[in-house]
Amino acid sequence: MTSILTYTFKSLPSTSKWALRFSLRPLSCSSQLWAAPAVQTKSKKTLAKPNIRNIVVVDGVRIPFLLSGTSYKDLMPHDLARAALSGLLHRTNVPKEVVDYIIFGTVVQEVKTSNVAREAALGAGFSDKTPAHTVTMACISANQAMTTGVGLIASGQCDVIVAGGVELMSDVPIRHSRKMRKMMLDLNKAKTLGQRLSLISKFRLNFLSPELPAVAEFSTNETMGHSADRLAAAFAVSRLEQDEYALRSHTLAKKAQDEGLLSDVVPFKVPGKDTVTKDSGIRPSSLEQMAKLKPAFIKPYGTVTAANSSFLTDGASAMLIMAEEKALAMGYKPKAYLRDFVYVSQDPKDQLLLGPTYATPKVLEKAGLTMNDIDVFEFHEAFSGQILANFKAMDSDWFTQNYMGRKTKVGSLPLEKFNNWGGSLSLGHPFGATGCRLVMAAANRLRKEGGQYSLVAACAAGGQGHAMIVEAYPK
C-alpha cells in the first residue's frame, strides 16, 4: 500500500457552478413545458377485443375540489358523495332504477358511514334496491371503484354501474387511546358498582391522549412527503425542477379553469353556505415566491415543499359506466371506452411512489400500444418530485434493467401531452376521488384535442400503482 489517501480538487468556482445550473435548467426543460399539443393519426383503429363487451363512460362529474377546512368542513363525507351523485343524475338523466350497482372509493373512513357508497346512494335518492359497496386502495381507490365496475360489466353481471370516490380531509376520525377504549369497553361489561370502581381506579391521565389517524406508511412508518423527498434525491431531481413543474401545473390548471375546460365540475350548494362552483387550490405563483418556502419534510435541506406537493383536499366524484350496447340502446352518446388496465405494487419504502413507472409499460404492452400512440397523458401528481422521478425512472436504462427486469427503458414522456389541464398539485387531491377526475380529464381532453388514446396512471400509498388506457368514443 503506497498511497492511502488520494484527493482531488473539484475546483469549480461555486458561483459559476450554481449559475450554470440555473441557466441550463430553463433551456433544457422549460421550452418543452409549454409547447402546444400535437395531433397525430393512429395506426391502430380501436382496442376492442373479440368476445369481450365494450365498456363505456357515459359521463362523469365532480363537485369542486376545495382546500380542506374551507366550505365543506362542516359536512360529512357522504354529503360530498351525495352531491356528486346528484350532479351525475342531473348531468346524465339516467333513470335511477336502471343502475345495477354503485361503488365508491374512499381512504380515511368516517366510522359512522363506513360503507359510504350506500349511505350516499340512499341520500342522493337512488333506488334502495340498488346495492352499493365501498373500496379502498389509497390514492387509487376511485380507480379501483371504476375497474371493479368494469369487471362486473365485462363478466356480464351488470350493465350499468355508478363508480365514484370521496374524501373529506376537513374531518378525520381521531380516536381515544387503546387503553382508554379498553377501559370503556370493560366498563360496559362490568356488572357491579365495585367492578366499575375498580376499573375507574385504573384510569390514568395519559389514557386521554388521542390517537390521530396515521399520517405515515404503516409498514415503514415514513410519511409520504418524506419518501417523496428521498425519491426526488435518489433521482437527483432538484428543487428548482420541482418548483418549475408545480408552477406549470398551477398555470395550466388556471388556464383550463379560465377557458371553461374543466367541464366535469358541477356546482354544489353547500347547506348554510354559498354555492361552490370552482376548484379552490389553483394558485399560480412565481418561482421566486416558491423558492422562499422551507422544506416541509426533510429539514432543513430537503426539496419537497408545500408549494410543490399536492395539498389536503375535500371533494367527490362520480361517473356513469355502461356496457356499450346498453348505453346505445338508452340513446346515450358515450364519451370514452375504458380499455386495458393494470395494478402494480413494489417496495413501499424506497419505491413508494414509482407505481406509474411500473404500470405504464405493462398497460401499453397489454393494449398493444406504444408510447407514441398515446395522445393524452393524465397522471396523478402527488408531488412534483414524484412525477419528475417517475419521468427519470422511465427514461433510465439502468433503472428499468435493474429494478423492472426490462431490456430497455420505457422512454421519455412527451410533456406537451402531459396533464395539460393541470393535475393533483393544482386541482387538488381528495384521495378517494382523484381516480375519476383523472379518467374524466382524459376523456374530455381526448374529445377536445382530437386524440384517440389516453394513458391514465397513478401511484398510491402502500407502494402500489395503477394505469389504464382510455379510448375516445368515435364522434
Partner 1 sequence: MPRFIYFSLQVNTLNKELQSEFIEVMNEIWASDQIRSAVLISSKPGCFVAGADINMLAACKTPQEAAQVSQEGQKMFEKLEKSTKPIVAAISGSCLGGGLELAISCQYRIAIKDRKTVLGVPEVLLGILPGAGGTQRLPKMVGVPAAFDMMLTGRSIRADRAKKMGLVDQLVEPLGPGLKPPEERTIEYLEEVAVSFAKGLADKKISSKRNKGLMEKLTSYAMTIPFVRQQIYKKVEEQVQKQTKGLYPAPLKIIDKFGELAMTKESKALMGLYHGQVLCKKNKFGAPQKEVKQLAILGAGLMGAGIAQVSVDKGLNTILKDATLAGLGRGQQQVFKGLNDKVKKKALTSFERDSIFSNLTGQLDYQNFEKADMVIEAVFEDLSLKHKVLKEVEAVIPDHCVFASNTSALPINEIAAVSKRPEKVIGMHYFSPVDKMQLLEIITTQKTSKDTTASAVAVGLKQGKVIVVVKDGPGFYTTRCLAPMMSEVIRILQEGVGPKKLDSLTTSFGFPVGAATLADEVGVDVAKHVAEDLGKAFGERFGGGSLELLQQMVAKGFLGRKSGKGFYIYQEGSKDKNLNSDMDSILAGLKLPARPEVSSDEDIQYRLVTRFVNEAVMCLQEGILATPAEGDIGAVFGLGFPPCLGGPFRFVDLYGAQKVVDRLRKYEAAYGKQFTPCQLLIDHANSPGKKFYP
Q: Find the Cα–Cα–Cα–Cα dihedral 332, 336, 338, 343, rounded to 10°.
A: -140
Which segment (7-15, 28-36, 50-58, 113-121) binds partner 1 by CB under 8 A?
Answer: 7-15
Residue 414 cell numbers, joined: 412527451
Instruction: Give CA torsion, residues 357, 358, 359, 360, to 10 deg.
Output: 50
Selected binder of partner 1 within 209, 219, 275, 286 (CB under 8 A): 219
Size of the site for partner 1 (CB under 8 A): 40
> SS3 string of 396-464?
CHHHHHHHCCCCCCCCCCCHHHECCCCCHHHHCECHHHHHHHHHHHHHHHHHHHCCCEEEEEEEECCCE
Least separation in angstroms between residue 301's CB and partner 1 is 5
Catalytic residue among 29, 158, 436, 459: 459
Residue 215 near partner 1 by CB under 8 A? no
Q: Is 350 in the site for partner 1 (CB under 8 A)?
A: yes
Tell me whether residue 12 or residue 200 sits nearer to partner 1 (CB atom): 12
243-302: contacts with partner 1 (CB under 8 A)? 298, 301
Q: How far is the CB of 16 from partner 1 (least distance, A)?
A: 9
- Does 401 bind partner 1 (CB under 8 A)? Our answer is no
**CA–CA separation, 216 and 41 (whole Å):** 45
Q: Judge contact between 77 and 112, C-beta under 8 A.
A: no
Q: Does 52 help bind partner 1 (rule: CB under 8 A)?
A: no
When asked if residue 233 is in the footprint of partner 1 (CB under 8 A), the reply is yes
Stretch that binds partner 1, among 3-11, 111-119, 313-321, 332-340 (CB under 8 A): 3-11
CA atoms within 13 A on the CB side of 404: 26
Which ranges constitute the DSSP H helices of 177-335? 178-189, 193-201, 224-234, 239-258, 287-291, 324-329
Residue 259: beta bridge partners?
none
Pairing of strands 268-269, 464-472: unpaired
Q: Which stretch binds partner 1 (CB under 8 A): 79-87, 259-267, 343-351, 411-419?
A: 343-351
Radius of gyration of the chain (CA): 24
Question: Does 72 help bind partner 1 (rule: CB under 8 A)?
Answer: no
3-class SS at 287? helix
**Backbone phi, then psi, for 313, in 5-degree steps?**
-135, 145
Annotate each residue in 361-390 with x if it binds partner 1 (CB under 8 A) or - if it does not, as one string.
Answer: ----------------------------x-
| Residue (1 or 27) nearer to partner 1, CB | 1
Examine the residue annotation and report whether 29 is marked as an active-site residue of this protein: no
Least gap, CB of 401 to partner 1 (angstroms): 11
Smallest gap from Cβ 10 to partner 1, in A, equals 6
Residue found by looking up cell 373512513 in the block: 109
Rounded to whole angstroms, what are the CA distances from 400 to 80, 340, 364, 404, 411? 41, 22, 15, 5, 10
**Cβ neighbours of residue 387 closer than 8 Å, sequence gap 6 or more:** 245, 379, 381, 423
Stretch that binds partner 1, among 70-78, 123-131, 349-357, 452-460 (CB under 8 A): 349-357
Q: How far is the CB of 285 from partner 1 (least distance, A)?
A: 24
Grouping H, G, I as helix, E, B as strand and the rest as coil, residue 52 is coil
- 221, 286, 370, 401: which one binds partner 1 (CB under 8 A): 221
Please, are residues 315 and 436 in contact by the beta-carbon 8 Å criterion? Answer: no
Q: Which stretch binds partner 1 (CB under 8 A): 49-57, 212-220, 281-289, 467-475?
A: 212-220
Binding residue (CB under 8 A) for partner 1 from 24, 236, 287, 306: 236
405 binds partner 1 (CB under 8 A): no
Listed residue (194, 261, 313, 274) closest to 422, CA to CA: 261
According to CB under 8 A, which one of 104, 235, 421, 473 is a site residue for partner 1? 235
Of the ranges 4-12, 58-66, 87-95, 111-119, which one interacts with partner 1 (CB under 8 A)?
A: 4-12
Q: Which is nearer to partner 1, 186 or 347 (CB)?
A: 347
240 binds partner 1 (CB under 8 A): no
Active site residue 158: no
Q: CB 341: neighbour CB atoms within 10 A?
A: 22
Q: Interface with partner 1 includes 218 (CB under 8 A)?
A: yes
152-211 positions binding partner 1, by CB under 8 A? none
Asked if 164 and 85 touch (Cβ cutoff 8 Å), the reply is yes
Whether the CB-CB separation of 371 and 364 falls below 8 Å is answered with: yes
Residue closer to partner 1, measured from CB, 154 or 234: 234
Query: Which positions are annotated as active-site residues?
Result: 139, 459
Residues that bind partner 1 (CB under 8 A): 1-15, 218-221, 226, 230-231, 233-236, 298, 301, 347, 349-351, 389, 392-393, 396, 398-399, 402-403
